[in-house]
Structure 1
Amino acid sequence: MKQLSQFNNQKVLVLGLARSGAAAARLLTKLGAIVTVNDAKPLEDNPGAKSLLAEGIRVICGHHPLELLDEEFSFIVKNPGIPYSNPMLQLAMSKEIPIYTEVELAYLISEAPIVGITGSNGKTTTTTMIENVLNASGVAAHLAGNIGFPASEVAQSVSKNDVLVMELSSFQLMGIEAFKPHIAVITNIMPTHIDYHGSFDNYVKAKWAIQQKMTASDFLVINVNQDLLKTLASTTKATLVPFSTEEVVDGAYLKEGNLYYRQEKIMSVDQLGVPGLHNIENALATIAVAKLFEVSNQTIVNVLSHFGGVKHRLQSIGSIEGVSFFNDSKSTNILATQKALSGFNNENVLLIAGGLDRGNEFDELVEDIKGLKVMILIGQSAPRMIKAAQKANVPYLQAKDVKEATRLAFKTASKGDTILLSPANASWDMYDNFEVRGDEFIATFNELKGV
């Protein structure tokens, strides 16, 4: 990693722990900063804080004391999940204390160029596809960021001959200043996380920040199916590499069932290892990045044809007696479920859906669910989803949880059918997170299969 002197003897507050906070605290300490960590979780229930204390790092737990900011910190590194409405951050902003996220630190120390991927949907799958293709071509690519590997930790061990493939959330991108990827990918921008950002405009501004420092020597791979992104693309200084499933562009595109890059056929849609229009978009973004790295067509085809998806993101988990099972627990909103359904023939699909009731109706889903074999509905939002099923004239059943829903779906299914868990809702009414929900689906599949 780059040996920086700018943090030596600088007083820094790391606000919020989890893996990224702990990584930032350790990195800053290594760089000579005087670090204080503040986390809301009490010390007795906070093994991460205990580990840092044992390493000699100052930790204050249990609450966020506003008087802590009297210590005149040079800057704050905050956990992405902490909203800017937090009183500590509000006070810091009034004091004009800079607030970053740890991806900024990762950029500053990284010797490796960065491929940064953001978007409302598809960023994890696209990030994984890109990493797989680059590694298969002989490029040493390393996953980092929102995908589960703290960027400031991974960045410490990469060389200039490696590549950091970094998934970036809007929360992380709000905390950057110098950050500049060599290649940035924007998969799409849809209204989401408005509760955090306050407005769609603020959300778009956070996403668009990924390219704010890029120049003509950098590349912006962007989905021009969306008018919003087309308009934004006209304002960037980066070199544009568009991708589209709707028109021929000077980049990656879909034409007559085949994927192309600048008039060169790469592969057919039928060769992709994962279904759905959204995965065609993810593949096109991956192809664009791969060609910028001069990856061979054969390597691209080999990787994308064997790509089985990412866990909980339209993940094929197998079949029993001719019935296929797909785990798409990550689909926590209507758009994600619409994209998942686009890859299947509805008359053979048994859809498990429902979850946290956020007060919204599901009228937008009606056209997408028409023709489904059956819907099995769970969670708080089931009554609202029943209304959508009735409007679509789709038969429905109810279950108490994912396990019961999966068993009920399998009992109802016939050979050639697909059981798809794609909830269109968050999981927090019944499960700690979408991963736990998806794991219950996988576990039930294994029980039914007798594993």
Structure 2
Amino acid sequence: MKTLDNFPYSHVLVLGLAKSGTAAARLLLQSGKSVRVNDKKASDDGNAVYELKSMGAEVITGSHPLSVLDGIEIVIKNPGIPYDNPVLVEAVNRDIPIITEIEIAGNLVESSIIGITGSNGKTTTTTLTKEMLNKSNQSAKIAGNIGYVATEVAKTLEKDEKMVLELSSFQLMGVKTFKPKIAVLLNIFEAHLDYHKTFENYKRAKCNVFANQSDDDYLIYNADDPVVIEAVVQAKSVKVPFSLKKQHDDGAWVDATSIYFKHEKIIDRSNIALVGAHNLENILAAICAAKLSGASNVGIQEVLTNFSSVKHRLQFVENIDGRLFYNDSKATNILASQKALSSFKQPTILLAGGLDRGNEFDDLLPYLNNVKGVILFGETKEKLKRTATDAGIEFILTADDMDQAVKRAYSISERDDVILLSPACASWDQYRTFEERGDMFIQAVHTLM
């Protein structure tokens, strides 16, 4: 089992448990470090707390006393904990470094890391890249924001195995030396400003994916996104563009019929199974990452002709009496829902709503032309109701839970309609995760059957 032999700190505070915090604490203890854990919400008799105590950790639950920093050399924080947490503010005052679990995972990996970030499309691109490598007889594993804890995966990697990491801005904000061999920057637009406070802070976090790269590393970037183009100017790595609008002889591009990498045709667009014009961007980025990692055209083609969706990302669920149900629960922001809605030309019933982050939904208006009905829920349902009214949508209904939402959507639907869960909001007002929200939708659809 791999341990943190080169980690230069002996006394570590792990702030926040959950999956990543528990895994980080476990790894640090196995590496002979002195570990203190602080989690305000954890129960003293919980399994994770019991395990870490039995391994020698000091565990403090129920509050965040500043004394947890006494004698501490570095803090490893759960990505979701904001930096205005009193313990983190005090850590800054004491000049104690603050990192996330991604940073220590990078210390464990002996082979190439492919790090993928962006405001939208991360999960699809990460999954496509991993599948393209696997189908090319190269071993690769996925981890990070996609649901697999990076340190747990990194501990199991063989020397020649690659790790494909989906990276959130929350994770990237806490890296100091993390350096993927291949970085991918898909897009940048305003998101998570309740956490980052300003768009500049958010962009800076995203740009950490390539901040430590050198001239023998690669940066794959969206050459159609003006914010991305401006951001990558500072990169020292070899830049590899992808574009839907222009031919790029040093990257991936498309014409009316085919997809290319540099001068090489990869596949006919008509053979691609994945729906949605926005997914072409994800495909181009994945092709760049896979080709730079040695994937074969045959392996790439096999994936693209068979891969139709990632769970919770425009996932086809069921056809019930001619109604097509799609689960896009991972659409936790407006842009993601815009892209989902633009994937369908037939009449659509949209299920949307969730955590209120203070924004309005006017940016959805141009994408509601095919929407005949909405079922709204969560904290944002009144805001979304105003948008739906402005769009002149025929049916505007609300629901208390997902089961009710699915039933009401079906009741106003007709044969050949799409019933689409694409919330445009985070899930935390009603569900623990977007995965739980999507699973409830799937369960409700199957119950409807």
TM over 0.5: yes
Extract unaligned runs of 5+ from structure 1. none
- The CA deviation string for residues 267-305 of structure 1, in whole angstroms up to 9 with x for no partner, is 233333221122111111111111112322222121122
Distance in 2 (CA, whole Å) between partners of 1:373 and 1:259 is: 34
**Once the two structures are aligned, what percentage of the paired residues are identical?**
47
1:93 aligns to 2:92 (yes or no) = yes
Distance in 2 (CA, whole Å) between partners of 1:177 and 1:371 is: 46
Distance in 2 (CA, whole Å) between partners of 1:373 and 1:417 is: 9
Cα pair 1:125 1:282 within 8 Å, conserved: yes
Distance in 2 (CA, whole Å) between partners of 1:430 and 1:109 is: 36
- The CA deviation string for residues 131-160 of structure 1, in whole angstroms up to 9 with x for no partner, is 111111111101111112211121112122
Cα pair 1:275 1:344 within 8 Å, conserved: no
The correspondence of residues 10-409 of structure 1 with structure 2, limited to 5 A, is: 10-44=10-44, 46-71=46-71, 73-249=72-248, 250-345=250-345, 347-400=346-399, 401-409=401-409
Cα pair 1:17 1:79 within 8 Å, conserved: yes
- The CA deviation string for residues 20-45 of structure 1, in whole angstroms up to 9 with x for no partner, is 11111121122221111111124336
Cα pair 1:43 1:50 within 8 Å, conserved: no
- Quote the offset at 1:444 in angstroms: 1.7
- Quote the offset at 1:3 in angstroms: 5.7
Aligned length: 447
Cα pair 2:13 2:68 within 8 Å, conserved: no
Are the structure 2 counterparts of residues 98 and 275 from structure 1 closer, same or farther at C-alpha, using a change threshold of 3 Å?
Answer: same
- The CA deviation string for residues 226-265 of structure 1, in whole angstroms up to 9 with x for no partner, is 1111122222111111111122223111211422211322
SS in structure 2 of the partner of residue 91 of structure 1: helix
Counterpart code for 1:410 = Y
SS in structure 2 of the partner of residue 38 of structure 1: strand
SS in structure 2 of the partner of residue 267 of structure 1: strand
Q: Give the ranges of 4+ consecutive aligned residues of structure 1 lying more than 6 Å apart after TM superposition.
A: none
Counterpart code for 2:179 = K
Distance in 1 (CA, whole Å) between partners of 2:361 and 2:118 is: 23
Higher mean displacement: 177-186 or 408-417: 408-417
Counterpart code for 1:294 = G
Extract unaligned runs of 5+ from structure 2. none
Aligned counterpart, 1:441: 441
Are the structure 2 counterparts of residues 163 and 138 from structure 1 closer, same or farther at C-alpha, using a change threshold of 3 Å?
Answer: same
Distance in 2 (CA, whole Å) between partners of 1:427 and 1:150 is: 21
Cα pair 2:347 2:417 within 8 Å, conserved: yes
Are the structure 2 counterparts of residues 25 and 188 from structure 1 closer, same or farther at C-alpha, using a change threshold of 3 Å?
Answer: same
Counterpart code for 1:338 = Q
Are the structure 2 counterparts of residues 151 and 45 from structure 1 closer, same or farther at C-alpha, using a change threshold of 3 Å?
Answer: same
Cα pair 1:340 1:422 within 8 Å, conserved: yes
Distance in 1 (CA, whole Å) between partners of 2:303 and 2:6 is: 42
Cα pair 1:184 1:219 within 8 Å, conserved: yes
- Quote the offset at 1:6 in angstroms: 4.2
1:413 aligns to 2:413 (yes or no) = yes
Distance in 2 (CA, whole Å) between partners of 1:70 and 1:40 is: 17
TM-score, normalised relative to structure 2: 0.94
Cα pair 2:381 2:398 within 8 Å, conserved: no
Cα pair 1:8 1:31 within 8 Å, conserved: no
Distance in 1 (CA, whole Å) between partners of 2:385 and 2:7 is: 56
